[in-house]
Every structure is written in structure tokens, then in C-alpha cells.
Amino acid sequence: MSTSEKAATLNVEQAGTNPSIASDGYFSVENLNAYYGDSYIVQDVSFDVNEGEIVALLGRNGAGKTSTLRAIARADEPELRKGEIYLQGQSVHGMKSYQASNAGIALVPEDRCIIQGLTVEENLDLAVIAGEKGWDYERIYDLFPRLKERRKQEGTTLSGGEQQMLAIGRALAKDLKLLLLDEPYEGLAPVVRHDIEKALMQVREAGITTIIVEQNAVAALKISDRAIILDTGEVAFQGTAKEVLDDEALRHEYLAI
Ligand SMILES: Nc1ncnc2c1ncn2[C@@H]1O[C@H](COP(=O)(O)OP(=O)(O)OP(=O)(O)O)[C@@H](O)[C@H]1O
Ligand SMILES: [Mg+2]
């Protein structure tokens, strides 16, 4: 049996029998179709995420991971032409990005988007002004003590790892229901990555739901409950993180690891 046949079989079997992927209706995307102009990029993507899970969204370069996150966050591009997105039963697909943000969806993009000219604390202040309050600053600083030490420092002068911490902290400062992380470990030394991993596990313990996109698939799978693999804009596999880690052929075919 080829890996893709095996993956398809797994999907069918799990959908019916594996309680680990039974949906609790917390977050779902159904048949997302998104375009950049005429380029059809996100093709009928459907998946569910349960409350409090970390789900890894994986795939090779250009598979459509960032585009899927952007479509969920209701960015202007790619344009969502068809499909539905529900968060706690509320439809998100008709929203603008600021409305999705107010509904509790926070996208931490690859470039982290720290606002120039503002200190760490002022970056957090802006997040709070922009929406309903989430974690207070002390709680964010407990999660990332380095941010507390540097709270008066201009955000754009932080190291890459510290900027990632600030970007996550900013998401937590709002009333956060779904955290979307695009390549959070990019450019980070392993020791800094470990700090972020630990923090993300604490965020999960606090009940927050996360979708993590990472080129470092093994690192992402290590902290994830489940995984979704995209291939040329389509869902190629859904299952537990352990299934991906244990299936060498699957990893080789879709993740090149
Ligand atoms: N602004 C854009 N305009 C046109 N095409 C785009 C645009 N952004 C991305 N694409 C195309 O959409 C496809 C999916 O890109 P996307 O960035 O979603 O992939 P990805 O899985 O995040 O890749 P990577 O791992 O390299 O970050 C690619 O073929 C890419 O060239
Ligand atoms: Mg990307």
C-alpha cells in the first residue's frame, strides 16, 4: 500500500473510531478555497481543532500552510472564495481581519510584526487597547521572564527569540481563543526554542488552543496533540502527532524528514 493510500485509510479509520480526533466543535474549517488572484492555493481544506489542543499544520515549502493560517485569520490575501470557518459555533468566514481578531483569533506571523518605536510594554498596551483583556502583564511576564527584564526596551531591538515571546505575549494580552503561530522557531537557537516550547505547553495547560506551522516538524510534533499535513494546498493526512512521528514513509513523502 502506498503512503498516500495508507494515509487515506488512516483518515477513514480514525474519523470513525479514534476518540483522539473526535471533534468537540470548538474550531473547524470546512472546504476552504482561497486564491491569490487566479492562483488557486488552498484547495478544499477541512479540519477540526478541539479546545485546548496544540495542532501542528505541516507540509513542504509552498504547501499552503501560511495561506491557510491567513485565510483563518481573515487576512485580505489570500481571498477566501468558498468555505466556512467556525469558532465555538460562531461563523468567522464572513469577518474582516479585525473582527476575527476581536473574536479571539490571533495570528503571530513569521516576521512577528513587533511595532517599531514602542517598548515591550507599549507593544502589550496596544494589544489591550485593541480588544478585550486576556492575561494581565504579570502573568505574561511569569511565562516569559525575559520580557519583564526588557519591558522598557524598544521591541524591535529584542533578539529573535525575545521578539517571538513578545508576539505570543501580545496575543495572550487579548481575550485569546485560537493562537495561530507561523514558524515560531525560525532562526532560533535550540536553547531559545526550548524556552518557547515550554511556554507553549504552559499556554496549553491554561486551556488555550493553538495551531502551529513549523518547518521544524519534529519539534512541532513533540509538543502537539495532533497533526494535519498539507500537500499542494490539500489535506494529505490527519492524525495524532505520534502517528506522524512513528511513520517514516509518511514523514518522508510529505515532510522530507
Ligand atoms: N502573495 C502571494 N501571491 C501569489 N502567490 C502566493 C502568495 N503567497 C503565497 N503564494 C503561493 O501560494 C503557495 C502557498 O504558499 P504558502 O506561503 O501558503 O506556503 P507555505 O506552506 O507556508 O510555505 P513555506 O513553508 O515556504 O512557508 C505557494 O505556491 C506560493 O508561491
Ligand atoms: Mg509559510
Residue 36 Cβ inside 6 Å of ligand 1? The answer reads: yes
pTM: 0.92
Rounded-to-integer distance, Cα 205 and Cα 216, Å: 23
Residue 61 Cβ inside 6 Å of ligand 1? The answer reads: yes
What atom in ligand 1 is closest to the CA of residue 70? Answer: 18
pLDDT digits (tens, 9 = 90+) for 112-125: 999 999 999 999 99
Task: Look at residue 10 in the predicted model and tell me its pLDDT.
Answer: 40
pLDDT digits (tens, 9 = 90+) for 29-45: 999 999 999 999 999 99
- The best mutation among 67, 79, 186, 211 to test binding of ligand 1, ranked by most ligand atoms within 8 Å of the C-beta, falls on 67
Per-residue DSSP letter, 168: H
Residue 162's CB is within 10 A of a number of other CB atoms, namely 23
pLDDT digits (tens, 9 = 90+) for 139-164: 999 999 999 999 999 999 999 999 99
pLDDT digits (tens, 9 = 90+) for 228-254: 999 999 999 999 999 999 999 999 999
Ligand number nearest to the C-alpha of 67:
1
Rounded-to-integer distance, Cα 104 and Cα 161, Å: 24
SS3 content of the chain, % helix, strand, coil (to 5): 40, 25, 30
Residue 157's CB is within 10 A of a number of other CB atoms, namely 13
Per-residue DSSP letter, 174: B
pLDDT digits (tens, 9 = 90+) for 60-78: 999 999 999 999 999 999 9
Identify the helix (H) or strand (E) that includes residue 164. helix 160-173
Radius of gyration of the chain (CA): 18
Rounded-to-integer distance, Cα 202 and Cα 109, Å: 21
Rounded-to-integer distance, Cα 87 and Cα 51, Å: 10
Q: Which residue has the higher pLDDT, 21 or 40?
A: 40
What atom in ligand 1 is closest to the CA of residue 233? Answer: 14
Residue 65 Cβ inside 6 Å of ligand 1? The answer reads: yes
